[in-house]
Structure 1
Amino acid sequence: MPQASSSSSPAKAAPPPQPAADPSPSALPASEEALDPQTPAPPPQAQPEAVLTAAQKALRSKPARPPEDADKKNKKLKDVEISFPIVYGTISFWLGKKASEYNSHKWTVYVRSATNEDLSVIVKRVVFQLHPSFTNPTRVVEQPPFELSESGWGEFEIAITLYFHSDVCEKRLDLFHQLKLYPEEDTGPQSTKKPVVVETYDEIVFPEPTEAFFQRVQNHPAATVPRLPPGMTLPPPGPMELVPHEKKRGDTKDHPLSQWFSNFSEADELLKLAAARQQVQAHIAKLRRQLSMMDGMPQQSKAVSVQGQQFGHG
């Protein structure tokens, strides 16, 4: 979490010891009163106050921030929520002729924005928990892009923990992803040019954000601000968000693996939902036909049995 750093002034060295008074006659006072041993010694003079620079004076005289300002920034916005669409997953490449029994694939696990924007606006660090067989299986990534690359031969579950900035959320978010190295049977054999890509789309929702957090991210391209309640008046965006958004260091738009990223746009999601709905409806119709056929068979056998009994009694 970003911590407010405060610099303290270096301690001042003690003044060097004053040299002892010269007892020679030339150093003695010329007046007879000064030679009188009964004359009391003059009181010690007060040390002059340390000279302060203008900046130090300004810091000393600067009034403390009114508590209401801090309370205002920490004020939660009721009935408001901010969401950040994210994607987490793995991309694995078969090493081909370079593959060995214990080192057959190279893979990358990551967490990215669904729109490939910079997630460091909310994420402080990401911890990836690998299989215990790896050296240092707990990997901490504190700068975007939040990812790591490794190589191996086995598939396992990767735990992904997201930690957020202090003004975003105090709780962590735990995600889990199954590393997949080998393609499905219907996708053909392994290839060094075509990786195995497994991604999961999700949304991180922050209900009732603080006013400071909202001001900081409300115009960020990675954030999604839903429709607000009627009559809700929101604070204006922060000064840094007034300028047009420039490409940040942490985005993944030009990532070396971006050509393999899945596109999770709303249009694609609607098409996938429509296709899935059609498949479900077709499957339901098929089951209904099978049930009708199964229901018809016992009825026919029952009718034949009744007719046989009638003929027998006749």
Structure 2
Amino acid sequence: MVRVRGLQIERRLVHGSVAFWQGPRAPETKTHRWTVYVRGASDPLEDLSVYIRKVEFVLHESFSDPVRVVTQAPFCLTEYGWGEFEIIIRLFPLDDAKKPVELYHPLRLFPPPGQELSEKPVVSEHADVLVFVEPSTELERTLREADTKRLAPESWGSLLPLFGGDLKEVEIDDLRKVRQARERVRQQIEALRQEYETLTKELERSQAQTLHRHLS
């Protein structure tokens, strides 16, 4: 697979959740209906399946089948529950050679302190940046064309009007620095791992040669 050396492409994302209180008569274990999702930052109708193959949502272990897989856009999952917890979101790029990217989303069900429960939805959104380092030529072309493919508005249903606006550039810059730092650390770890494997093989080869001389 041919890769574009030295190229780095970024896609801006938002991971979020919308929670609806089900009223005072709802069962104790199903007080809220909530949806967790991943969407484009500047355009909620951006079709992320152009460069994301699937998304795994890892829920609290108390849920039946806590690892849920969504294979088509929009990448979202709806459930019922009563408690707040952190959801792990794994993004699997179309390029199989790229490792999954993990995001961590804090599910929010309740309004801020001082506000009473109401039918008003609780929206929690966080910005992130997906970085493709030296993508394949095919993926690079796909990423360049990603902005031209959009989802139908009805695919999001009633959630679309609840999404926030575009991200602030300062947020994007901070996230970009974090991603770049993580990538540098990952590359350093990989280089150390390869160096360790090389030294281990050389040591084993040296020990084998020494043993062979003693036995000869």
**SS where residue 98 of structure 1 aligns?**
coil
Q: 1:195 aligns with which of 118, 121, 127?
A: 121
Q: Is 1:112–1:252's contact at 8 Å kept on the other side of the alignment? A: no
Flag the structure with more relative contact order, 1 or 2, with Cα contacts below 8 A and sequence separation at least 6. Answer: 2
How many corresponding residue pairs?
A: 170
TM-score normalised by L of structure 2: 0.70
Q: Give the whole-Å Cα distance in 2 for the aligned partners of 1:254 and 1:103.
A: 22
Question: Percent identity over the alignment?
Answer: 39
Q: Give the whole-Å Cα distance in 1 for the aligned partners of 2:149 and 2:134.
A: 28
Structure 1's 76 and 252: CA in aligned 2 closer, same or farther, altered over 3 A?
farther
TM-score normalised by L of structure 1: 0.50
1:212 aligns with 2:114: no
1:260 aligns with 2:162: yes
Q: Give the whole-Å Cα distance in 2 for the aligned partners of 1:198 and 1:99.
A: 22
1:78 aligns with 2:9: no
Q: Is 1:157–1:179's contact at 8 Å kept on the other side of the alignment? A: yes
Offset of residue 211 of structure 1: 1.8
Q: What residue ranges of structure 1 are gaps of 5+ in the alignment?
A: 1-73, 222-244, 274-314
Q: Give the whole-Å Cα distance in 1 for the aligned partners of 2:79 and 2:129.
A: 27
Q: Give the whole-Å Cα distance in 2 for the aligned partners of 1:170 and 1:247.
A: 24
Map 1:145-156 to 2 at 5 A: 145-156=74-85
- The residue that corresponds to 2:92 in the other structure is 163
Max Rg structure: 1
- The residue that corresponds to 2:110 in the other structure is 182
Q: What residue ranges of structure 2 are gaps of 5+ in the alignment?
A: 174-216
- The residue that corresponds to 1:92 in the other structure is 19
Amino acid at match of 1:214: E
Q: Is 2:51–2:139's contact at 8 Å kept on the other side of the alignment? A: no
Q: Give the whole-Å Cα distance in 1 for the aligned partners of 2:157 and 2:167.
A: 18
Segments of 4+ moved more than 3 angstroms = 245-249, 251-255
Q: Is 1:113–1:119's contact at 8 Å kept on the other side of the alignment? A: yes
Q: Is 2:95–2:136's contact at 8 Å kept on the other side of the alignment? A: no
Offset of residue 162 of structure 1: 1.1
1:106 aligns with 2:33: yes
Query: Any idea what the Cα deviations from partners look like across 1:14-70, whole Å, max 9, x if unmatched?
Result: xxxxxxxxxxxxxxxxxxxxxxxxxxxxxxxxxxxxxxxxxxxxxxxxxxxxxxxxx
CA RMSD of aligned residues (A): 2.4
Q: Give the whole-Å Cα distance in 2 for the aligned partners of 1:252 and 1:79.
A: 39
Which has the larger share of strand?
Answer: 2
1:130 aligns with 2:32: no
Offset of residue 253 of structure 1: 7.7
